Copies of this chain bind each other. A is one copy, B any other.
Amino acid sequence: MAKDKPTPRPRAETPKGFRDYFGAEVTARKAMLDKIAEVYHRYGFDPLETSAVETVEALGKFLPDVDRPNEGVFGWQDEDADWLALRYDLTAPLARVAAQYRNELPSPYRRYAMGPVWRNEKAGPGRFRQFYQCDADTVGSASVAADAEICAMLSDALEIVGIPRGDYVVKVNNRKVLNGVMEVAGLAGDDKEAERGIVLRAIDKIDRLGDAGVRALLGAGRKDESGDFTKGAGLSDSQIAILMQFVTASKHIERRLEDISKLPGALDSATGVNAYLASFQGSAVGREVLGGDASVNVFWNRVATQYLREIVGESAVGREGVEELESIAALLSAQGYGPDRIVIDPSVVRGLGYYTGPVYEAELTFEILDEKGRKRSFGSVAGGGRYDDLVKRFTGQAVPATGVSIGVDRLLAALAAKGRGASDTAGPVVVTVMDRDRMADYMAMVGELRQAGIRAEVYLGNPKQFGNQLKYADKRQSPIAVIQGGNEAEKGVVILKDLILGAKIAQSATLEEWKDQPAQVEVPRGDLVAAVRKMLGQ
């Protein structure tokens, strides 16, 4: 083996767009995934773990927001000239598995999967090229009961990780409703696929662009602040008007609910609301204010489906979509999931091209401060929907499927922003080394502590400077330092230093108090474990 020429040292750097996770960051995510898995398991979902690597052929071209195949993935050519790539989500591998094992798997097949996915995209603040997803999908059920179940499960999952009811909402919509509206606007048919794509992407940007922006993209096009022009769908004013009925649906529904809330006395009875809804168009409404938010909310789903029914008109697919939404709301309500947790919301369309029916999204409704100190609502942490065509790619046979993906890292960030993050940062008891030659004694101490289930370490650095050992204990957030010098060893005792109490005293004690060293006790060597337990409050 010839000796290498001296080469410059390698850089110790994570690749651009990737990051490392330390200690409590790892623990917090794991705790969250464990809790979510508990919910998924209770709902009958089984775990599936596919490998990180798939053939590009199997992954297909379904990467969100990307039109060209293989763009946005990390891929390479195998020695057999096959192209392989890292998975960009957990749905594409599921579709592959559902096709590959279709004769062995139960049908319907409920599975969950958790793990990292990779995107070869520009990284930014809080946006990395590897991140975790946590998915649950039901493959092989055409019933909207499957969609309803996933919405209920998503709601349970959010609550179990620490998002209280009221701080989140699961929004449900149906692509068929939008397809119905497009049909009404004359955008049905294979030759209108491009226009429908533009419409879908435009609507998905409503939060960022506002009504006017979407309207522009539906028409001639839109010039953004930088002056760049995005070509629009080129629709006529009447087509745009029809689509805008859908885009602005939430506002219309809200206005109707406001009207209902002002109806004298009618709100508590379903009959009253039904009468109102039946007679809605053009009817005069009372002005008197009635119930508060909660009571109004109960009627949201009914008002929303009524409104959507009006705007899909005679479209068969549109009506089917509205009926499915009504079924979902009824099935959820039967399990006690009312609109305080899960609501029909036409503003949810989900950017992904592959959704074919119900789509859903979980939004956190509390406000946080952004980087610039401005209040904003936290927004979406999970989303999904029905995608009946993904398995068909492989088998030629349509297999109905629906599922959700929880953005674990965003959810962790949300909990941290609310100060509800896990904080298991309990450091170990540190056994210090006063006498290098008696390392076996210190190892015996740490061994006893560990046997007793107490997290403990012996100091393994250079023991010369005792101050360094205490600094180390501090950095490790250690609750107790155990000390035994030659004198103590002779007397058969050890000293325990309560580092938590010590830190408190250091902040406030007078010199006299300090000298008393109340945070320090001497105990017989034989009582080590018991004394440490006591100091830890165990």
Interface centre among A44, A53, A141, A457 (most CB of B within 10 A): A44
Please name all residues of chain B whose beta carbon is closer than 8 Å to the beta carbon of A51 when the two chains form the complex: 14-15, 18-20, 116, 130
User: For residue A58, which residues in chain B have a CB less than 8 angstroms away from its CB?
Assistant: 10-13
A435 within 8 A of B: no
Closest to A74 in B: B76
Q: Does A207 contact B (CB under 8 A)?
A: no
Q: Which of these, B49, B333, B454, contacts A20 with CB under 8 Å?
A: B49
Task: Tell me the A45-61 residues at the B interface (CB within 8 Å).
Answer: 46-55, 57-58, 60
Residues 445-503 of A at the B interface (beta carbon under 8 Å): 446-447, 450, 453-458, 460-462, 472, 475-476
Q: Does A395 touch B at the CB level, under 8 Å?
A: yes
Q: How many copies, total?
A: 2
- CB contacts (< 8 Å) of A52 on chain B: these are 52, 86, 116, 118, 130
CB of A165 closer than 8 Å to a CB of B: no
Q: Which residues of B contact A456 (CB under 8 A)?
A: 42-44
Interface membership of A270, Cβ < 8 A: no
Q: B11, B20, B47, B106: which contacts A27 (Cβ < 8 A)?
A: B47
Evaluate contact between A44 and B428: CB separation under 8 angstroms: yes
Whether the pair A334, B472 counts as a contact (CB closer than 8 A) is no
Q: How far is the CB of A332 from chain B (nearest CB, A)?
A: 8
A97 at the interface (CB under 8 A from B): yes
CB <8 Å contact, B108 and A9: no
What is the chain B residue whose CB lies nearest that of A442? B145
- Smallest CB separation, A426 vs chain B (Å): 9
Give the distance in Å from the alpha carbon of A118 to the alpha carbon of B116 in the complex: 14
- Whether A141 contacts B453 by the Cβ 8 Å rule is no
Given the complex of chains A and B, what is the CA–CA distance between A148 and B86 in angstroms?
Answer: 39
Contacts A52-B52, A450-B42 given: A11-B74 contact, CB under 8 Å? Answer: no
Q: With CB as the reference atom, state the residue of chain B lying closest to A330.
A: B440
Confirm or deny: A293 has a beta carbon within 8 angstroms of a beta carbon on chain B: no
CB neighbours of A86 from chain B (8 A): 52
Complex Cα–Cα for A55 and B15 (A): 6
A526 → chain B closest CB, angstroms? 16
Is A225 at the interface (CB under 8 A from chain B)?
Answer: no
Query: Is A23 engaged at the interface, CB distance under 8 Å to the other chain?
Result: yes
Tell me if B42 and A454 are in contact (CB < 8 A): yes
Contact A48 B74 (CB under 8 A): no
Secondary structure of the A side of the interface?
A: mixed
- Interface flag for A138 (CB, 8 Å): yes
Partner of A46, one of B22, B43, B67, B120: B22
- One digit per residue, 1 when the CB lies within 8 angstroms of any chain B CB and 0 when it does not, for chain A 20-48 equals 11110111001000000000011110111
Whether, in the assembled complex, A310 has its beta carbon less than 8 Å from a beta carbon of chain B, the answer is: no
Complex: A46 Cα to B20 Cα, angstroms: 13
Q: Are B149 and A50 in contact (CB under 8 A)?
A: no
Instruction: For A44, list chain B residues within 8 Å (CB).
Output: 427-428, 455-457, 476
Tell me the complex Cα distance, A334–B101, Å.
54
Cβ-defined contact, A140 with B15, below 8 A: no
> Can you identify 30 A-B contacts, CB atoms within 8 angstroms?
A9-B393, A11-B58, A12-B99, A13-B96, A13-B100, A15-B78, A15-B84, A16-B78, A20-B101, A21-B49, A22-B48, A26-B47, A43-B450, A43-B456, A44-B456, A51-B130, A52-B52, A53-B118, A79-B120, A106-B472, A107-B472, A110-B457, A142-B462, A149-B460, A331-B439, A334-B440, A334-B444, A334-B447, A335-B446, A336-B447
Closest CB pairs A-B (n = 5): A335-B447, A44-B457, A12-B99, A141-B460, A334-B440
Given contacts A15-B55, A43-B450, A52-B116, 14 further A-B contacts (CB under 8 A): A10-B58, A10-B393, A16-B82, A18-B51, A19-B51, A22-B48, A26-B47, A26-B49, A52-B118, A53-B129, A53-B130, A76-B76, A79-B120, A148-B443
Q: Give the B-binding residues of A (Cβ under 8 A).
A: 1, 9-16, 18-23, 25-27, 30, 41-44, 46-55, 57-58, 60, 67, 74-76, 78-80, 82, 84, 86, 96-97, 99-101, 106-108, 110, 116, 118, 120, 129-130, 138, 140-143, 145-146, 148-149, 152, 156, 193-194, 197, 330-336, 393-396, 427-428, 439-441, 443-444, 446-447, 450, 453-458, 460-462, 472, 475-476
